[in-house]
Structure 1
């Protein structure tokens, strides 16, 4: 198992940050330019918190992950255990490459800004790929948090 944790202090309010990071357009903005996740047109630009209780019981949708917007490298079956409106989500997904992908994101008010945290617990399907998985996911989430700071500004304590 791989355990990773990322944290950013942002100068924007939690409501403003949540409005962006709770959409797949926001996720793709964070991942740009390295990875793009396809999204079915039926899901559109809706917030994750708009998922119905029925949708939360199963796979919300399948997403093809594309390197540099055009090279497919994985298919992610997105499953949300819960979405806390304005606060975060608990994802428990699988993919061709990951036997288990647990991702907990929280957006918490802090002074005049907020703190975004991502906790990941990953089990690759092929055990010997764990070091590569750790390196790639760490790179992508550090990149995502840099993009968050670029977009919303860094909160100064």
Structure 2
């Protein structure tokens, strides 16, 4: 069975797109969005890295996902498949739990110096999780709503 699920989250952020982009491509910004539920490590040997500095199409290694920032529970074989600096990236990865994980994020200017962040997530869980995928989809959508709230709060 090759089922995939997806969802979309879009939010207006009270800051210019350039400032929002500068935040969402850094490990600190990414982890701040995910806290307190989880954090993600920078792959070993990647050094000081941002999404803007990665080579498109080249896997950068294993980024560990840590529950509450402490307990490793999954990892992401991270690859930036597409990049439009200052505007959009598309991550295509695999995980212990996912045969396929795609995170497409766009940051666009809107009126009055604000910006719109849109995430489109597509995922295909591994065989053992396929039956729970509808529940997983709802949990992940809630998690991305949390991420957007945290991002907006950072700039409020």
TM-score, reference length from structure 1: 0.89
Residue in structure 2 matched with residue 71 of structure 1 by the alignment: 71
SS at match of 2:62: strand
Residue in structure 2 matched with residue 86 of structure 1 by the alignment: 86
CA distance in 2, matches of 1:40, 1:121: 22
Q: How many residues align?
A: 150
- Is 1:12 matched with 2:15? yes
Residue in structure 1 matched with residue 147 of structure 2 by the alignment: 144
Residue in structure 2 matched with residue 114 of structure 1 by the alignment: 115
SS at match of 1:39: coil
CA distance in 2, matches of 1:139, 1:76: 20
CA distance in 1, matches of 2:108, 2:41: 28
Q: Structure 1 residue 131: deviation in Å?
A: 2.3
Residue in structure 2 matched with residue 129 of structure 1 by the alignment: 132
CA distance in 2, matches of 1:145, 1:89: 16
Unaligned runs of 5+ in 2: none
CA distance in 1, matches of 2:137, 2:33: 18
Q: Deviations over 1:87-144 (max 9, x none)?
A: 0101111101011111100000112111000001111113112023213211210110
SS at match of 1:108: strand
SS at match of 2:42: coil
SS at match of 1:138: helix
SS at match of 2:103: strand
